[in-house]
Amino acid sequence: MKPVYITTPIYYPNGRPHLGSAYTTIVADFLARLYRALGIPSRFVTGTDEHGEKLERKAREQGKTPKEFVDEMAAEFREAWKKLLVEPDRFIRTTDPDHIETVKKVLEALREGGHIYKGKYEGLYCVGCERYYSEGELVEGKCPFHLKEPEHKSIDAYFFRMSAFRDRLLEFYRGNPKFLPPGRKEEILNRVKELQDLCISRPKEQLTWGVEFPFDPEHVTYVWVDALFNYLTASNGAWPPDIQLMGKDIMWFHCVIWPSLLMATGYELPKREVVHGFINVDGSKMSKSLGNVIDPLELAEEYGADFVRYLLIAKVPFRDDGNIVRDELEKIYRELAGSIGNLANRVLRLMEGVRSTEFRRDPAVFGEIEKFRKELEKQLRELNIEKVLDIYGQGIQRIAHRLNSYINEREPWKLDGAERDEAVLNAYRGLVELMKLAAPMLVEGARKFFKVAGDGKPGETRLILYPPKSGIKSS
């Protein structure tokens, strides 16, 4: 069976990973683990987008060659993901030799198919986005994302006849209603109607840091064309992608440019482009000047990687923009410690002195768990990722709650012998099931738990998963 192929955008390594890139990457890692937890193989790939003007300039500013600079930064990204317990099946870099081969092969295929022509390009270019803007797309003459005036450029360039794919794209969207992200279809469809050709090269005098055109060494590949095909290079038999995650700012590249390029080169198209909103902090876009930047690594240092994953997966809405309130972080940590952390601690302690391992499964415990697992599996198989993220956090909390109330109702401390064992074993085995379902999010906690948990009985009965933080009052 082909694994479910999950991708994140590959990040510009011009700065350290931030909360935005951590968000997409943690969600992707979580999904890959969740598929596997339910017995469905998955392949998850992330990486760095290392070519282009932005990187070249940044390297020069630091007195480094582009290669030296991206080598250092790519290492930082790998390290950061490790700290956040993100484990991709491949970390792809666009400077990897096999990727450069892919890009050259793709350019040859575009040329052979008659999809490329040479022309002149004049326009307004935002280096931050690595793309041209039309006047109409600017806000007060500035790039809407970087709030900087774009640069005027006029260059000899190769063009991809993207406009020729307009009808095929529209037909594809109609035949594959899940491809485009729900709630954002209209916006894309309206713009596709005016689809233009795409400039896919930069002259050598403007940019040297990129993949050279195989049939014209005076030109270098446009970074976005280079970057998008990372998904092909990294596929390793899992093609086509099933789930491609991204923030709303790069939807156009993935929903329009990407499928047109694939149609032109004859590859099967991805199943779903899954778009999430932006995360704000204290109600505003994160910015250094506002001083509201949350560094995901500092957060992990302070509260642990599981907390960062919990916050981003269970506490931030997926499709719409989310907001993190810094003053609430401690409360959210206490919520995690007080529900799942406390439950694990409580149930393991109750297992002390339990002699038997045999028990009858009580539907009061397992009913809810089974229902949730079935629902998750259904949504995952249908690639309803927005739905999965809507129901997951609450589902996990609901089960933790159920188990806690089950213990409170049965009061095993008032029972004896077989009756006591029966109640405690139900709670314990329910907890084992809960931790299996929570493991894709709470990677570290689950690892600790399963170190002591056994099929019949735990090896130890003392375990504190999320200890109180200094300065944080336990509730």
247 is a site residue for ligand MSP (CB under 6 A) = yes
Tell me which DSSP letter residue 244 carries: E
| Options 131-139, 245-253, 370-378, 424-432: segment touching ligand MSP (CB under 6 A) | 245-253
In angstroms, how far is the first alpha carbon of the chain from the final one?
A: 47
Query: By CB under 6 A, is residue 261 in contact with ligand MSP?
Result: no
- Provide the pairing of β-strand 322-324 with 279-281: parallel
Distance CA 21, CA 7 (A): 13
For residue 130, the minimal CB distance to ligand MSP (Å) is: 8
Instruction: Give the number of C-alpha atoms closer than 13 A to the C-alpha of residue 297, restricted to the C-beta side.
Output: 12
Cis status, amide bond into 240, omega within 30 of 0 = yes
21 binds ligand MSP (CB under 6 A): yes
Q: Which of 27, 85, 107, 228 binds ligand MSP (CB under 6 A)?
A: 228
Number of helical (H) and strand (E) elements in the chain, helices listed first: 18, 14
Angle (CA) 211-216-222 rounded to 5° is 35
| Site track for ligand MSP across 43-62, x = CB under 6 A | ------x-------------
Helix H or strand E encompassing 132: strand 131-133
CB burial of 409-435 (b: ≥16 within 10 Å; e: otherwise) equals ebebeeeeeeebbbbbbbbbbbbbbbb
Of 34, 73, 198, 227, which lies in the binding site for ligand MSP, with binding defined by CB under 6 A?
227
Is 261 within 8 Å of 164 (Cβ atoms)?
no
Under rule CB under 6 A, residue 246 binds ligand MSP: yes
The helix, strand and coil proportions of the chain, stated in percent and rounded to the nearest 5, come to: 50, 15, 35
Q: Could you say which residues in the range 302-331 bind ligand MSP, by CB under 6 A?
A: none
70 in contact with ligand MSP (CB under 6 A): no
Exactly one of 3, 4, 5, 9 binds ligand MSP (CB under 6 A); which one? 9
Nearest distance, CB of residue 53 and ligand MSP, angstroms: 13
Please, what is the minimum distance in Å from the beta carbon of residue 47 to ligand MSP?
Answer: 9
Nearer Cβ to ligand MSP (106/439)? 106
Applying CB under 6 A, which of residues 45, 279, 324, 407 lies at the interface with ligand MSP?
279
- Interface region with ligand MSP, contact rule CB under 6 A, candidates 5-13, 293-301, 384-392, 453-461: 5-13
Q: How far is CA 329 from CA 108, 233, 286, 307, 334, in A?
A: 52, 39, 16, 9, 9
Inter-residue contact 332 to 325 (CB < 8 Å): no
Rounded to an integer, what is the distance from CA 473 to the centroid of its chain?
32
Tell me, by CB under 6 A, how many residues bind ligand MSP: 18
Which residues are 156's β-sheet partners? 120
Q: Does 10 bind ligand MSP (CB under 6 A)?
A: yes
Binding mask of the shown chain, residues 137 to 156, with x at each position contacting ligand MSP by CB under 6 A: --------------------
Nearer to ligand MSP, 49 or 53 (CB): 49
* Tokens encoding 473: 């009052």
Instruction: Give me the least distance between CB of 99 and ligand MSP, in Å please.
Output: 11
Q: Which is nearer to ligand MSP, 23 or 307 (CB)?
A: 23
Residue type, position 334, single letter: R
The nearer residue to ligand MSP, 11 or 158, going by C-beta atoms, is 11
Which positions touch ligand MSP (CB under 6 A)? 9-12, 20-21, 23-24, 49, 227-228, 246-247, 249-250, 278-279, 286
